[in-house]
Amino acid sequence: MKKIAVLVVSAAAFVVIGCQVSKPGSVESSVAKTIKTKMTVGGKDDKNPIAYSPDAAKEGGEHFQHHCQICHGLDGQNTGVPFAGRLSPPVPELNSPAVQAYSDGQLKWVIDNGIFPSGMPASKGTLSDEEIWQIVHYIRHLPARGSLGDPVVYGGTPPGK
């Protein structure tokens, strides 16, 4: 039933907005947020089985740098990612209140399954459950904006150089 509702709402949104790529308006953003948090993003009650520690977050950061920084930047806040604000919807800054409001289980679910229709790909089968839970710890404890520089792929300097 949820999938049918999502498809109907998505189809209606496409009819209304056409094929234009533009920044989502407040109504569109509100509808998308409600659909994601109430209907499509699962895992709300799933608890992170890995206890938080600086080492767990550091390990999560290493996985994040390998798999996620291409879109979210090294710091999870889109630093140095030239297209992050030009996608529709834009790549979210992971320290934003909207992202941080998700439960740990919902963050894991998003990483596992991706978000349709957006650019967020599914990582199930690419990352292990342990790696994803560690990334969740990293997302909860992101470094300061810009403190890690820009991703090398976009002209940044490799860490430690």
Domain boundaries, the chain: 1-40, 43-154
- CATH for 43-154 (3.40.50.1980, 3.40.630.10, 1.10.760.10, 3.20.20.70): 1.10.760.10
pLDDT tens-place string over residues 9-56 = 555 555 445 455 556 666 655 555 554 554 479 999 999 999 999 999
3-state helix, strand, coil in the chain (%, to 5): 50, 0, 50
Closest among 2, 127, 106 to 64, alpha carbons compared: 127
Q: How much is the pTM?
A: 0.77
Q: What's the sign of the alpha-carbon dihedral 5, 112, 66, 144?
A: positive
Read off the pLDDT of residues 75-131 as tens digits, 9 standing for 90 and up: 999 999 999 999 989 999 999 999 999 999 999 999 999 998 888 999 999 999 999
- Residue 53 is which amino acid? S
Quickly tell me which residue has 């470094």 as its tokens: 143
